[in-house]
Structure 1
Amino acid sequence: MLRGDVAQALGVCHSVHMLNSVVSRLEVIEPWSSPTVRVTDSALGGVPARVFQPVGGGAKLRRGVLYFHGGGWALGSGRMRSYDLLCRRMAEELDTVVVSVDYRLAPDAVFPDQYHDALAASRAFLSPEVLQRYGVNPARVGVSGDSSGGNLAAAVAQRISADDSMSVKFSIQALIYPVLQALDLNTPSYQQNHNVPILHRHLMARFWLIYLGADPSLLPHLLSSPSSLLHPSIPPSIRSHLNWTSLLAAKHQKHYRPVGMETGSREVTWIVPGLVDVRAAPLLAEQGILGRTPRAYVMTCEFDVLRDDGLMYARRLQDAGVTVTSVHYDDGFHGCMVFSFWPFLSSVGQRSLDNYIQWLDHNL
């Protein structure tokens, strides 16, 4: 983001706008159909989306997956080559209708805009009219996403599951290295992987502040060595939801220790209330909410600052009575699953994608 920072300092444009312009030129592709998958650009609940529909099959009802792309709520698009190829493969191999959602991005839109877009798209996709239009079986609809998209998928899965007015709900949730909280940026995985590409601790903190519409000058306070989680102002109930000393296995805690906060430290949560909003931080949800969410797949990677977010969420879902498949890759890194297509190929990327698709096939 260095060049973007320079452009922003010179008043040319926001650093994120520069990055997205580069991504758009290099990665965003027009929809193209194949003999096996028909691809069209449409909208769900007023939110742009790309729809991948298997060709043929007669009048039988298919499974459906709503997918949210990653990018720190600020970068990327469901129309990027990597996500287009991912959804195309899912549609073809699973004989499933896949809809990739292009929610609004920061800094032009900030929390809760992205959440509202994800929820609007979810409600629309689950409506009887849309399910009928795309020939989707209402009993076999899932929600999925990676990184910040995994955050949105988890958040809408919670909201939809608790909404008794919805006649159709998600039957599964598949979360790929999801980002789920920002109260503790000193979990063992944040300490271990603070400088590991492609998602440094510093960069994740910046994404959080941009997403929450917070003053960038708060970055040092969010990144200061003490954890906001241990500030005396945080209620014990919230603290227990993020207590990695009890939620993580010893092999993931390793030699790391909690980092406390002095009483006199600046209270970032008062200045940035989104940090304790469950719509932004699904890991903060109460057990009763978690217990109503559908069967889950949670993928985590060893070399990822977000590893412990996913592991703690999987544990809390299990404790709430949800059936969870927690898959961890000891050689995995953040974003590895999209490194499954030429020219960016990796062994762990291909293995993780194969496993993800296999799980969907068996559980959706």
Structure 2
Amino acid sequence: ERSVVTNNCLLPPFFCRYRLVPEVCFPEQFHDALRATKHFLQPDVLAEYSVDPNRIAISGDSAGGNLAAAVCQQLSKDEHLIVRPKLQALIYPVLQAFDFNTPSYQQNMNMPVLPRYVMINYWIDYFNGNYDLAHSLLINNHTALDVHQALTFRGRLNWTSLLPSSFKKNYKPVVQTTGNAEIIQEIPALLDVRAVPLLAENETLQLQPKTYILTCENDVLRDDGVMYAKRLENAGVEVTLDHFDDCFHGCMIFTIWPTDFSAGVQTRNSYIKWLDENL
């Protein structure tokens, strides 16, 4: 779907529609987004819409940022793809369901707009899981040290090494010695990189395009974005981490009167400026 060009943006955006929960659950949203993107990237389709194949960015916010990151990873491994995105831009993306006790999850657990329990319930909805699992997820029982399925991924999401001290503050990791392996057996998607792209292997991260990640201090998802930026940087990808100390999850939608907050205008303008300068 093509959109009217927004103020200050010289780029013609195209929006990918995907089916939503509860109509369908993972992985259908991922498949919808991937199919639509691959179709759009065909040279004849790009020509039809007068799109320069050398100036394409994939972008999304929140859950859309999750899909944008996952789709970018999948495209990077497709040897038959002729046209590839030049950039990816992720706006306060949700990228992992491995650790619900990162410093930002602890710091913002009761933050309005997106408190921790709501984010956990969103994951359960996405995976068509049972709400009875919410408490076990909250205390990281699904990734305890005795849950062997999680061992491979633990080193990829060690926030004590991926986050700068200004974000770690005085928070401590929550790692259970004994957990519940049946959670991963019931919901294997918790460790599926198509749903949790922060857990991707380094070989995939090395293939990612130049990246912009916007994060907000008052957001449980802050550390998802910061850790992904660090992992991409460690893999040799050029990354811009644009962090806003006084902003909150979803703030970019508040740019039109009567809900035109300075946080929304500030983040929107910064995002558009980066696209203008890099695309």
- TM-score, normalization by structure 1: 0.74
Match of 2:116 among 191, 201, 225: 201
Query: What residue is the counterpart of 1:169 in the other structure?
Result: 84
Query: What residue is the counterpart of 1:31 in the other structure?
Result: none
Deviation string, structure 1 residues 142-198 (Cα, Å, up to 9, x no partner): 100000000000000001111110000111000000000111001000000000010
Decide whether aligned partners of structure 1 residues 235 and 218 sit closer, same or farther in structure 2, where only a CA change above 3 A counts.
closer
Query: What residue is the counterpart of 1:52 in the other structure?
Result: 3
State the alpha-carbon separation in 2 of the partners of residues 292 and 264 from structure 1: 34
Q: Which has the higher strand share?
A: 1
| Matching of residues 167-246 of structure 1 within 5 Å | 167-223=82-138, 225-232=139-146, 233-246=148-161
State the alpha-carbon separation in 2 of the partners of residues 122 and 266 from structure 1: 35
**Counterpart contact for 2:143–2:150, Cα < 8 Å:** no
State the alpha-carbon separation in 2 of the partners of residues 322 and 173 from structure 1: 11
Shift of 1:358: 0.4
**Counterpart contact for 1:52–1:98, Cα < 8 Å:** yes
Unaligned 5+ segments in structure 2 are none
Percentage identity across paired residues of the two chains: 49
| Matching of residues 117-136 of structure 1 within 5 Å | 117-136=32-51
Aligned length: 278
Shift of 1:125: 1.1
Other structure's SS at 1:96 match: coil
Deviation string, structure 1 residues 314-360 (Cα, Å, up to 9, x no partner): 00000011000001000010001111122211112111100100000
Q: Does residue 157 of the first structure (1) align with residue 72 of the second (2)? A: yes
- TM-score, normalization by structure 2: 0.96
Shift of 1:234: 4.1
Larger radius of gyration: 1
State the alpha-carbon separation in 2 of the partners of residues 268 and 311 from structure 1: 27
Query: What residue is the counterpart of 2:23 in the other structure?
Result: 108
Other structure's SS at 1:139 match: coil
State the alpha-carbon separation in 2 of the partners of residues 239 and 150 from structure 1: 22
**Counterpart contact for 2:92–2:214, Cα < 8 Å:** yes
Q: Does residue 294 of the first structure (1) align with residue 209 of the second (2)? A: yes
Query: What residue is the counterpart of 1:333 in the other structure?
Result: 248
- If asked which structure has higher relative contact order (CA below 8 Å, sep 6+), I would say 2
Other structure's SS at 1:145 match: strand
State the alpha-carbon separation in 1 of the partners of residues 238 and 179 from structure 2: 42
